[in-house]
Structure 1
Amino acid sequence: MAYRIFFLYSLLLILAVTQGIRAVDYIITNKAANSPGGARFDDEIGVPYSQQTLENATSFIWKIFQQDSPIQRKNVQNITMFIDDMEVGNDAINNQIHVTASYIEGYSGDIKREITGILYHEITHIWQWDGKGHAPRGLIEGIAEYVRLKAGLAPSRDWVTFRHGDRWDQGYDVMARFLNYCDSLKVGFVAQLNKKMRNGYSDQFFDELLGKTVDQLWRDYQAKCG
Structure 2
Amino acid sequence: MKKLHVAVVASLLALAAAAPAAGAVTFDATNTASGTPGGKRFDQAVGLDYAEQVLSDASTFVWNTFNQPSPADRRPVDAVTLVVEDIGGVAFTGGSDIHLSAQYVGGYSGDVKTEVTGVLYHEVVHVWQWGLQDYGAHSGIFEGIADYVRLKAGYAPGHWVQPGQGDRWDQGYDVTARFLDYCDSLQPGFVAQLNAKLKDGYSEDYFLQILGKNVQQLWQDYKAKYGV
TM-score of the superposed pair, with normalisation by structure 1: 0.89
User: Using the alignment, how far apart are the partners of 1:71 and 1:25 within structure 2?
Assistant: 17
Deviation string, structure 1 residues 108-165 (Cα, Å, up to 9, x no partner): 1100000000000001001001263266100000000000000000012x20001110
Deviation string, structure 1 residues 22-56 (Cα, Å, up to 9, x no partner): 2x111211110000000001111001000101100
Per the alignment, residue 76 of structure 1 pairs with 77
Per the alignment, residue 94 of structure 2 pairs with 93
Per the alignment, residue 142 of structure 2 pairs with 140
Contact 1:64 1:191 survives alignment (8 Å): yes
Give the root-mean-square deviation of aligned CA atoms. 1.7
Deviation larger for 124-133 or 139-148: 124-133
Question: Structure 1 residues 200, 85: closer, same or farther in 2, change over 3 A?
Answer: same
Per the alignment, residue 114 of structure 1 pairs with 115
User: Using the alignment, how far apart are the partners of 2:26 and 2:106 within structure 1?
Assistant: 27
Matched, 1:51 2:52: yes
Contact 1:30 1:82 survives alignment (8 Å): yes
**Contiguous gaps of at least 5 residues in structure 1:** 1-10
2:223 maps to amino acid: Q
Matched, 1:19 2:22: yes
User: Using the alignment, how far apart are the partners of 1:40 and 1:203 within structure 2?
Assistant: 42
User: Using the alignment, how far apart are the partners of 1:152 and 1:27 within structure 2?
Assistant: 23
Using the aligned pairs only, state the percent identity.
Answer: 51
Contact 1:131 1:201 survives alignment (8 Å): no
Per the alignment, residue 226 of structure 2 pairs with 225
TM-score of the superposed pair, with normalisation by structure 2: 0.88
Mark the structure with the bigger radius of gyration: 2
Contact 1:121 1:145 survives alignment (8 Å): yes
Residue 179 of structure 1: CA displacement? 0.1
2:139 maps to amino acid: R
SS class of match (1:79): strand
1:147 maps to amino acid: V
User: Using the alignment, how far apart are the partners of 2:196 and 2:161 within structure 1?
Assistant: 27
Number of aligned residue pairs: give it.
210
User: Using the alignment, how far apart are the partners of 2:211 and 2:95 within structure 1?
Assistant: 33
SS class of match (1:19): coil
User: Using the alignment, how far apart are the partners of 2:72 and 2:202 within structure 1?
Assistant: 20
Per the alignment, residue 151 of structure 1 pairs with 153
User: Using the alignment, how far apart are the partners of 1:216 and 1:31 within structure 2?
Assistant: 48
Per the alignment, residue 129 of structure 1 pairs with 130
Deviation larger for 77-86 or 138-147: 77-86
Deviation string, structure 1 residues 164-217 (Cα, Å, up to 9, x no partner): 100100000000000000000000000000000011111000000000000000
Residue 18 of structure 1: CA displacement? 3.7
